[in-house]
Amino acid sequence: MPAFLFLTLMTAIRILSRNRLRAGLTMLGIIIGVGAVIAMVSIGEGAKAAVQAQVASMGTNVIIVLPGSTTVSGVRGGQGGAVTLNVSDALEMKKRIPLLQDTGWAKRDVIQIVNGNKNWNGPVNGVSPSYLTIRDWTFTSGGSFTQADLDAAVRVALVGQTVVENLFEAGEEPVGSVIRIKNVPFRVIGVLAPKGQSAQGSDQDDIVFIPFSTAERKVFGTQFIGSVGALFATTERQEDLFAAVDQIREFLRARHRLQAEQGDDFTIRTQVDIGRVQEGTSQTLTVMLLSIAAVSLLVGGIGIMNILLVSVTERTREIGVRMAVGAKRRHILMQFLIEAMTLSVVGGTLGILFGVAGARLTTVIAGWPTIISGNTVVAAFLFSLAVGLFFGLYPAHKAARLNPIDALRYE
Amino acid sequence: MDSANGQPVSLIQCADLWKVYRLGDVEVQALRGLNLTIEQGEFVAIMGSSGSGKSTLMNMLGCLDQPTKGHYWLNGVDVAALRADELAEIRNRQIGFVFQSFNLIPRTSALENAQLPLFYRGLPLREQRALAAGALERVGLKGREEHYPTQLSGGQQQRVAIARALVTTPSLLLADEPTGNLDTESSREIMTILDRLNKEEGITVILVTHEPDIAAYAAREIVIKDGQVLTDRRTKPEHPPSLMGH
């Protein structure tokens, strides 16, 4: 049997290479289908990985609570338009909800920042030290401020990469220098490691962090002491995220004395939600393009079936001779199946090469990240093999079912 | 070869062989209770006009077809009871075919054509090649192993076909109008080879022809008419078995 399989494969290759144009055209559908699958999946995987990296850059297992509208009737403020959340909410939340690992808070304003003769208008955030750990900020130089700094409302600042680029000369070390925020001098004690774009496309490195208390008292001039722009909380494990969200909602409703008929005066979001929207978009695209690829593979398979049916008819006499000299049905069946699978596998392999090239080209030209995983390539290969097997079965069966006498007599 | 009861078994034994086709509403009785016995080592010519049933008989003897009724014993085995794959096995092991139109596989070398039956026997490739080369040598085609059918003359193509039939050392060689597409000279060559295979190697040769001078090579002439044996006569004295096999 091994000798038979080997020789049958050789015969198949010879027969196909004899008619290169025909074989090439037959394989085209498979080539396009597999190529599209490989390119699309790698673009989709790349997009997914990018989204995941972005979500991770915002901190994992993070719950964000934004203040909401204050009234349910009349003129309503938008999200974050009111002062329904404050620092004590965050501190109490941490005490009362054991699932929460930590809570933090922040308030932001876009303010002019000055260093010597340079100035920059950037978002200044008054935050708790816990906020920085929750959001997973790290430092390229210097370090964070402490709870003591917060308690004492010390004038220290952490600056993001974009701010550094705009306020400092290239090569100048920001740590130790003094910048002015709304004319208040702040000592820079840390430079934040760059995070790049957020999932929404904003520059996360265009940022200055100062202690929340300092911001409140010396920079923002807040009307309501203790009111925050947003609360942040983390859970130890990602599985607890949704339970924690429910508990936070319950806790805040009770704390804000909301009646059953009243809506929440806050909005809770998780990183998972944000990531999900992004992934959803790329998944929709992937599903759409994969279905196009599937149609292409189907058409490719039908092409293979068609050309094999032609081949069976053309070679009816040959099949008769083979049967006369002792080929059994399975021999004939195998011969045509191997021919079909050779077509589809060669097509699939070419498709994989084109797909990989296409994905690389997408990265180079469009700058989209692409990931070519070994699993995808193996799956595409096996799939093209299966297409050959499936669409070769009918013509092969037709050949094997021929009556030797009729086949020998066929003109 | 002996049967269970010690009686020598004929190579071919047909008893009350019937073959009935249906062509639409018409029933065609191609064979009508034909009886025939052919011994190992014979050289038989089967003659008859078209429509006499000789082609049907050939298909039957070659195990390409099965009788509607009756029995055909080949080497003591009742072919009528076999399945398609068992028939293929018998064709592969015991029967060699030579066709009027050569029926070589196109764009495939002489060696690979001669190799074909061994291919289905699953022999190691090296052995297949050696046996096929030997068979080509026996029909005088040494040195033409790599030629394609289109590079060979009709006579040479038919010799490749004979090599293909010989390569399995069959007990029966069926030649259906083997010289029908050949000129006189090539015909003589082919018949000489068949005659030699019969005389020197003891292979049973059954020849279908309607040319009397071709039939004259055989030692026995059977005429078929209306699906039955019309005449069956010996045209040459039976050659003594002692001459076989050298």
Per residue in B102-141, pLDDT (tens digit) is 999 988 999 999 999 998 988 888 999 999 999 999 999 9
Whether A13 and chain B come into contact, CB under 8 Å, resolves to: no
Q: How many domains does chain B have?
A: 1
Contact at CB, B89 and A323, closer than 8 angstroms: no
pLDDT band at B246 (very low <50, low <70, confident <90, very high): very low
Domain boundary among A223, A255, A287: A255
Tokens of A315: 């070679």
Same domain, yes or no: A337 and A391 = yes
- For residue A355, tell me if it sits in a domain: yes
Same domain, yes or no: A370 and A308 = yes
The nearest CA of chain B is from the CA of A338 a distance in Å of 15
Give B119's contacts in chain A (Cβ within 8 Å). 3-4, 7
- For residue A271, tell me if it sits in a domain: no
- For residue A79, tell me if it sits in a domain: no
pLDDT at B24 over 50: yes
Same domain, yes or no: A344 and A234 = no
Q: How many domains does chain A have?
A: 2
The torsion angle over the Cα atoms of residues A348, A349, A351 and A354, rounded to 10 degrees, is 180
Mean pLDDT, rounded, for B28-48: 93
Strands B228-234 and B220-225: antiparallel
Predicted TM-score of the model (pTM) = 0.71
Same domain, yes or no: A283 and A317 = yes
Same domain, yes or no: A164 and A17 = no
The pLDDT of residue A327: 94
- Residue B16 vs residues A20, A396, B35, B61, B83: alpha-carbon distances, Å: 53, 37, 5, 14, 21
- Centroid of chain to Cα A40: 13
CA–CA dist A134, A324 (Å, integer): 79
pLDDT at B2 over 80: no
Residue ranges for chain A with pLDDT beneath 70: 1, 56-60, 69-83, 199-200, 222-223, 274-279, 282
- For residue B162, tell me if it sits in a domain: yes
- For residue A90, tell me if it sits in a domain: yes
Contact at CB, B117 and A3, closer than 8 angstroms: no
- For residue B10, tell me if it sits in a domain: no
Per residue in B140-194, pLDDT (tens digit) is 999 999 999 999 999 999 999 999 999 999 999 999 999 999 999 999 999 999 9
Same domain, yes or no: A133 and A27 = no
Q: b/e map of B68-106 (b: 16 or more CB within 10 Å)?
A: eebebbbbeeebeebeeeebbbbbbebbbbbbbbbbbbe
CA–CA dist A197, A391 (Å, integer): 47
Backbone angles phi, psi at B42, to 5 degrees: -80, 160
- For residue A261, tell me if it sits in a domain: no
pLDDT band at B242 (very low <50, low <70, confident <90, very high): very low
- For residue B18, tell me if it sits in a domain: no
- For residue B28, tell me if it sits in a domain: no
The pLDDT of residue B244: 46
- For residue B216, tell me if it sits in a domain: yes
Give A405's contacts in chain B (Cβ within 8 Å). 59, 64-65
Residue of A nearest to B86 (CA): A328
- Tokens 């390119």 belong to A39
- For residue A263, tell me if it sits in a domain: no
Same domain, yes or no: A150 and A118 = yes
Contact at CB, A326 and B91, closer than 8 angstroms: yes
Same domain, yes or no: A247 and A337 = no
Structural domain span for residue B124:
40-66+92-237
Which CATH number goes with the domain that contains B167?
3.40.50.300
Tokens of B203: 């292979």
Mean pLDDT, rounded, for B70-84: 91
- For residue B174, tell me if it sits in a domain: yes
- For residue B156, tell me if it sits in a domain: yes
Beta bridge partners of B45: B207, B221
Same domain, yes or no: A166 and A283 = no
Structural domain span for residue A334:
2-54+276-409
- For residue A333, tell me if it sits in a domain: yes
- For residue B57, tell me if it sits in a domain: yes
Per residue in A66-100, pLDDT (tens digit) is 887 545 555 555 554 556 788 888 888 888 888 88
Contact at CB, A318 and B164, closer than 8 angstroms: no
Contact A268, A114 (CB under 8 A): no
Q: b/e map of A74-97 (b: 16 or more CB within 10 Å)?
A: eeeeeebebbbbbbebbeebbeeb
In this complex, the residue of B84, B106, B164 whose CB is nearest that of residue A329 is B84
Contact A144, A135 (CB under 8 A): no
DSSP annotation of A216: I
The pLDDT of residue B243: 46
Chain B contacts in chain A segment 298-357 (CB below 8 A): 317-318, 320-331
- For residue A17, tell me if it sits in a domain: yes
**Secondary structure element (H or E) that encloses residue B142, with its range:** none
The pLDDT of residue B245: 44
The nearest CA of chain B is from the CA of A385 a distance in Å of 25
